[in-house]
Amino acid sequence: MKFNDHFLSKLKTAQKVVFFTGAGISAESGISTFRGKDGIWNKLKPEELASFDAFMRNPKLVWEWYQYRRKIAHDTKPNLGHEAIKQFEKLVDEVTVVTQNVDNLHNRAGSKNVLELHGNIERNYCTDCRTFFSPDEISKLENESGSESPRCSKCSGLIRPDVVWFGEFLPQDVFSEAERKASGCDICFVVGTSAIVYPAAYIPITARQSGAFIVEVNIESTEMTRIADESFFGKAGEVLPKIVEKAKEIRIN
Where residue 198 falls (left for φ over 0; alpha for ψ -120 to 50; beta otherwise) is beta
pLDDT, one tens digit per residue, over 84-109 is 999 999 999 999 999 999 999 999 99
Q: Minimal CA–CA distance to 164: which of 120, 201, 222?
A: 120
Instruction: Indicate the domain borders of the chain.
Output: 1-31+78-118+170-253, 32-75+123-163
Average pLDDT over the chain, rounded to whole? 92
- For residue 45, the number of C-alpha atoms closer than 13 Å in the C-beta half-sphere is 3
CA angle 111-236-36, nearest 5°?
115
Diameter of the chain by CA atoms? 62
For 1-31+78-118+170-253, CATH number out of 1.10.760.10, 3.40.50.1220, 3.90.1150.10, 1.10.3720.10 equals 3.40.50.1220
Q: How far apart are CA 50 and CA 30, in angstroms?
A: 21
Write down the pLDDT at residue 19: 98
Rg for the chain, CA atoms, rounded: 19
Cβ–Cβ contacts within 10 Å for residue 76, how many?
Answer: 16
Over residues 28-56, mean pLDDT: 73
Asked if residue 25 lies in contact with residue 191, where contact means CB atoms within 8 angstroms, the answer is yes
pLDDT class of 68 with cuts at 50, 70, 90: confident
Write down the pLDDT at residue 233: 97
CATH topology match: 1-31+78-118+170-253 vs 32-75+123-163: no
Rounded to two decimals, the pTM is: 0.92
Torsion of the alpha carbons at 37, 38, 39 and 44, rounded to the nearest 10: 100
Asked if residue 86 lies in contact with residue 19, where contact means CB atoms within 8 angstroms, the answer is no
Residues belonging to the active site: 118
Q: How far apart are CA 99 and CA 28, in angstroms?
A: 15
Q: Minimal CA–CA distance to 152: which of 171, 163, 137?
A: 137
pLDDT class of 20 with cuts at 50, 70, 90: very high
Where residue 36 falls (left for φ over 0; alpha for ψ -120 to 50; beta otherwise) is left
Q: How far apart are CA 36 and CA 96, in angstroms?
A: 27
The proportion of the chain whose per-residue pLDDT surpasses 90, expressed as a percent, equals 77
pLDDT, one tens digit per residue, over 110-166 is 999 999 999 999 999 999 999 999 888 998 998 887 767 899 999 999 999 999 999
Task: Mention the CATH class of domain 32-75+123-163.
Answer: alpha beta
Give buried/exposed letters for 151-182 (b at 16+ CB in 10 A, else e). Answer: bbeeeeebbbbbbbbeeeebbeebbeebbebb
